[in-house]
């Protein structure tokens, strides 16, 4: 039984084909920011308090009018349907059972309609700005019809960062027989994955992209499609266009600079996610733990402030809340758990996060989420 996210990571590495584990685990260039996300968060020092009566701890919170059992959600992770059979469905079920939100990536294996049919409950939809506005219009309409409650507009990928691990593993090399053979060999070396996901988890397509790519939406097209279709001309003016297509909350994901946070508010954002894309874009950028306090000052409570990056425990969640976040999104943590044991793995991870949060709050003298604020920082 996994006792930590590190345990889930080890299990994921043992069970996934090499190219898929490297995609989950890696960052861009020399992975400086990837390491900073973890190290800077772990270096945040909390005040240990005693004699505070922490016999009753309440972790519940409300975000965008919805009550959640924890200030934690599953952030969008691309291709997670390749980590377990119909992986997005399994993760969404685990989040729903735990009373937490699930975010579906635009670049998911399972499409919006499949998640909606299985979940029968609202979930969040993540969106990239691409050149084909007609496709975006259709995808947003599908999301609205499916009852998606929040839109995470990811703005830190006008171009893709250079991810050396994906090139070395054979995932992002140009399509062709040689690349396919490399991935095939890595896949058959993991027979459990090959049987459960490779054979019985089909179709292995980027389900939300089928309207524009048809049947050709497999791994061969993943990086090529990103490079050809993501829109480097994205600007704040595009937020107004998105607002015209989406009636619910729009949260800007990918903010690291206080000036950008203020601009997001000026252009009508309903929330902000402090994020560096898990260290997968600009290597050498600030960690989210570094960036969060300045952005919290700039936002000053006017909209909910979410954060991701480097969160590996419930203790890390408490650290992020103390630095100024209202809500924390998990990324790699739940992807590792999904790869390790599917829905059961994600469910167990969320129980670990809850238990670790309770311990961290008790030892810092906090009994409610509203008390986990900068005052508990040493």
Say which of 18, 200, 204, 277 is annotated catalytic.
Answer: 277
| Cβ partners under 8 Å of residue 102, min gap 6 | 73, 74, 91, 92, 95, 96, 115, 119, 123, 124
Q: Which residues are paired to 273 by β-bridges?
A: 253, 306
Measured CA to CA, the distance from residue 93 to residue 114 in angstroms comes to 12
Q: 3-state DSSP call for residue 252?
A: strand
Measured CA to CA, the distance from residue 129 to residue 153 in angstroms comes to 8
**Angle at alpha carbon of residue 96, lines to 208 and 209, rounded to 5°:** 5
Confirm whether 348 is a catalytic residue: no
Measured CA to CA, the distance from residue 109 to residue 34 in angstroms comes to 25
Antiparallel, parallel or unpaired: β 327-330 and 72-74: parallel
Tokens of 103: 């975010």
Measured CA to CA, the distance from residue 165 to residue 171 in angstroms comes to 9
DSSP alpha helix (H) spans, 26-161: 32-42, 87-98, 112-119, 133-145
Tokens of 357: 């949060």
Contact status, residue 83 vs residue 20, Cβ threshold 8 Å = yes
Q: Which residues are paired to 274 by β-bridges?
A: 255, 307
Annotated catalytic residues are 277
């Amino acid at each position: 039984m996994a006792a930590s996210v590190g345990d889930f990571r080890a299990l994921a590495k043992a069970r996934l084909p090499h190219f898929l584990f490297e995609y989950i685990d890696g960052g861009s260039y020399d992975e400086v920011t990837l390491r900073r996300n973890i190290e800077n968060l772990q270096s945040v020092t909390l005040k240990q308090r005693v004699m505070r009566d922490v016999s009753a701890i309440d972790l519940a919170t409300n975000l965008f009018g919805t009550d959640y059992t924890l200030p934690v959600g599953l952030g969008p992770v691309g291709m997670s349907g390749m980590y377990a059979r119909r992986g997005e469905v399994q993760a969404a079920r685990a989040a729903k059972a735990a009373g937490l939100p699930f975010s579906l990536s635009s670049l998911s294996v399972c499409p919006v309609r499949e998640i909606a049919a299985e979940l029968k409950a609202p979930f969040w939809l993540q969106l990239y700005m691409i050149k084909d506005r007609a496709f975006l219009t259709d995808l947003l309409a599908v999301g609205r019809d499916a009852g998606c409650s929040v839109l995470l507009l990811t703005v830190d990928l006008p171009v893709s960062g250079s991810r050396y691990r994906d090139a070395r593993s054979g995932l992002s090399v140009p399509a062709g027989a040689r690349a396919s053979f490399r991935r095939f060999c890595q896949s058959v070396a993991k027979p459990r994955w090959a049987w459960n996901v490779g054979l019985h988890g089909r179709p292995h397509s980027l389900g939300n992209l089928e309207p524009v790519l048809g049947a050709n939406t497999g791994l061969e097209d993943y990086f090529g499609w990103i490079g050809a279709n993501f829109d480097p001309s994205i600007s704040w003016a595009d937020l107004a266009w998105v607002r015209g297509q989406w009636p619910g909350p729009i949260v800007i994901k990918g903010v690291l600079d206080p000036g950008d946070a203020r601009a997001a508010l000026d252009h009508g954002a309903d929330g902000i996610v402090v994020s560096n894309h898990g260290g997968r874009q600009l290597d050498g950028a600030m960690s989210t733990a570094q960036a969060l306090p300045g952005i919290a000052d700039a936002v000053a409570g006017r909209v909910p402030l979410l954060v991701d990056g480097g969160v590996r425990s419930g203790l890390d969640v408490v650290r992020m809340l103390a630095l100024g976040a209202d809500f924390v999104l998990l990324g790699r943590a739940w992807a590792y758990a999904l790869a390790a044991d599917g829905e059961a793995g994600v469910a167990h991870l969320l129980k670990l996060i809850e238990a670790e949060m309770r311990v961290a709050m008790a030892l810092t003298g906090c009994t409610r989420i509203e008390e986990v604020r900068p005052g508990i920082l040493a």
